[in-house]
Structure 1
Amino acid sequence: MAIYTPRQAPSRTRKGLKKPGLRDKLAALLPQRKAKPTAYRPQQAIATGGQRGRQGTLLLKNSLLIGGLILIGVVFLWLTGRWLLQSDVFRLSDIRITGEQVTTERQILDLAGLQQGGSLLHFDVKAAMARIEAHPWVARVDIKTMWPSAVEIAVTEHQPFALVNVEAGAERHLYYLSLSGELFAEADEGQALDYPVMTGVRADKDIKAGAFVKGSLAEMADHLLQVAARGNTVLPIQAVSEVHIDEKRGLILYLVDRPFPIYFGTDRLQTKYYRLVKVLEQLYAKKLVDAVKEIRMDYLDDKVLVTGAQIDG
């Protein structure tokens, strides 16, 4: 009978580790080579021919779907627009015009391009305002659209206070004058002419772009008429018949019911006007106005010469 004798395990250190041999000690003394880390390379997805075909089919379907939706939207908007244009909802049933006196309602409607039953969707407010304001008698216009079927047009016309007889060579043209100094419209037959008239105005010298040239005798005559327009019981603007421009004598004023001229010159027009009021007041009070031949407001700075009648002062 054989006797089994177990092999003894190699001896260990107190920590349970094998003692290093001579080879291990020598290897530890030699420099160690560091292992190069392996670079990470992500796996690239490789599409097969079948996958590429499926992707192309999906892209084509999406493109067709988007194109179809856009086409449906365009058609819907077009049909909606046609329905709105033909619908009675936006048909004009109420057109109100205010402020017209010289201009007529028919003129304003034609210039605005409006008519009963027309579509409010077709109405261009800015273009209509430009056409109406191009009328010589219209100073300003305001247009309000009240959806879905009403428009309100408020017209402000020029207010004339005098007439200007403009000489252009051998021709004569009569224009209305506003308080702002604008010659805005030529007077036609049948229109009101009961205004003071400014005469002796030359188109090539006194007028530029529909207004009086600064510093001209025409501008001075306009200033004199505006002073008269402020209102005075003795000499209102309604009592003034004419203001004539004379290159040598300046401004000459004529009254409606008196034939004699009143010479103003070219300076201190407002002072002379109110001085004339006092002179006429005395003449009317003393019943001497019928004897007057002329009145010289430009005689001296502080004196008035009345020819044909004697007054105090």
Structure 2
Amino acid sequence: MGEVENLRPMDLFDDPATRRAILKRQSVQRESEPILSRIWKVVHFTVSCFFKFSCLVVVLALISALFVFLYDNLLRSPYIRLERVVVLGVDDAMKEELLEMAQLDFEMSLFAVNMDEVKERVEKHPWVKSISLEKQFPHTLAIRVEREEPWAIVAGEKLRYMNRWGRIFKEVEDGDPIDFPIVTGIPVTGENTGRPVETAVQVLGVLDAEKGNWSMEHLAELHVRGDGSVYLYYPSLPCGVKVRADELASRMDDLKKVVEHLNRSGRIRTAKGINLEYADGAVVSFKKG
């Protein structure tokens, strides 16, 4: 008898042909997996994903609802309810007007006050130049107002205030102060408004730096012409003074000397006009007779 070779189990896998046969059988077994089983796996995976997604949506919805509930309670919480409004920078009469324009709801919390809306409403007051708001928790809203300051009155179809920056901001009404210089020659509307206003501001700025009878406080009227010239009218002078707006600062000394000479000579009452637009001096015209 021939000698029988003892084979170990691992020796079967060492043989290439045997290994290929085993792998082929395993592949056949996998391919022969029932179709229902594969469908079940797909359905199970889909249902699992849908369930997880639904749980996530529910959780997010609950969190959102919680935030809405807390926010609504915060808006109506008595612990930070709006109870006091402090208006600074204006008198009592204007305070009442501004509070009425603000339309504040004292049933809501201070947290619910819309600062932009309140500011927009209050800024419509003609005497308000600028405004700032501050929430002072738990119960106070502070409104700081910078009031417009008239510098002159622009005369047109109606009288209107102008501030020192040239902003024409309010119509003069009964009871309003009128002790300001009158500015004429400025169109209130139209494309040519800007330059005459700038000219008026320039001239008033020069006179504002003057003292005594030549100061802006004693100016009765400033007439602005379109060519850059202006006329100045003072109660102490029986005539107007014509001068270039951009030369007024350098010609003030000349004006004072001319008027002083006319006073000394006794001819001031017969003067009809003083023209300072001449480079070598001033020209004075006199009334006839």
Q: TM-score, normalised by structure 1?
A: 0.67
The percent identity for this pair of structures is 20
Report what 1:198 is aligned to.
183
Are 1:123 and 2:113 an aligned pair?
A: yes
Question: How many Å apart are 1:278 and its aligned residue?
Answer: 4.0
Shift of the 173–78 alpha-carbon distance from structure 1 to 2, 3 Å rule, reads same
Structure 2: 5+ residue runs without aligned partners?
Answer: 4-15
Given candidates 181, 188, 205, the residue that maps to 2:173 is 188
Matches within 5 A, 1:85-164: 85-100=75-90, 104-114=94-104, 116-164=106-154
For the residue of structure 2 that corresponds to 1:160, the secondary structure is: coil
Whether the 8 Å contact between 2:223 and 2:231 is mirrored in structure 1 is yes
* Bigger share in helix: 2
Q: Shift in Å at residue 73 of structure 1?
A: 3.0
Give the CA deviation at 1:147: 2.5
Q: Which residue of 2 is the match for residue 304 of structure 1?
A: 282
| Partner Cα distance (1:243, 1:102) in 2 | 34
Q: 1:197 to 1:36 in 2, by over 3 A?
A: farther
Amino acid at match of 2:85: I
The 8 Å contact of residues 244 and 251 in structure 1, kept in 2 or not, is answered as yes
Aligned pair in 2 of structure 1 residues 221, 66: CA closer, same or farther (>3 Å)? closer
Cα RMSD between the aligned structures?
4.0
By how many angstroms is 1:239 displaced? 0.7
C-alpha separation in 2, matches of 1:184 and 1:271: 31
Is contact 1:261-1:295 (8 Å) kept?
yes
Aligned residues: 266
2:161 matched to 1:176?
yes
Q: 1:1-313 alignment to 2 at 5 Å?
A: 38=20, 47=37, 65-66=55-56, 68-100=58-90, 104-114=94-104, 116-166=106-156, 172-203=157-188, 207-208=190-191, 212-214=193-195, 216=196, 219-245=198-224, 250-265=229-244, 268-280=247-259, 286=264, 288=266, 291-298=269-276, 300-306=278-284
Q: Mark the CA change 1:76 to 1:259 in structure 2 (over 3 Å): closer, same or farther.
A: same
Distance 1:307 1:84, change over 3 A: same
Q: Which amino acid aligns with 2:77?
A: S
The structure-2 alpha-carbon separation of the partners of 1:200 and 1:56, relative to structure 1 and needing over 3 Å to count, comes to closer
User: How many Å apart are 1:66 and its aligned residue?
Assistant: 4.3
* 1:27-85 deviation line (CA, Å, top 9, x unaligned): xxxxxxx7596369789698589988887886676566545544443443333233223
**Distance across 1 between alignment mates of 2:253 and 2:18:** 115
Amino acid at match of 1:144: E
Is the alpha carbon distance of 1:288 and 1:118 closer, same or farther for their aligned partners in structure 2, counting shifts above 3 Å?
Answer: farther
Cross-structure match for 1:26: none
Residues 262 and 71 of structure 1, relative CA distance in 2, 3 Å threshold = closer
Deviation sequence 1:156-206 (CA, Å, 0-9, x none): 12222111112xxxxx121111111221222122111110001233346xx
Note the C-alpha offset of 1:291. 2.8
Measure the CA separation in 1 of the matches of 2:250 and 2:270.
21
Kept after mapping to 1: 8 A contact 2:242/2:275: yes
Helix, strand or coil: the match of 1:164?
strand
Q: Counterparts of 1:304 and 1:241 in 2: how far apart (Å)?
A: 22
Asked if the contact 1:177/1:184 (under 8 Å) is kept, the reply is yes
Normalized per residue, the structure richer in strand is 1
Would you say the 8 A contact 1:228–1:236 is kept in 2? yes
Q: CA deviation at 1:244?
A: 2.2
The two structures have a TM-score, normalised by structure 2, of 0.72
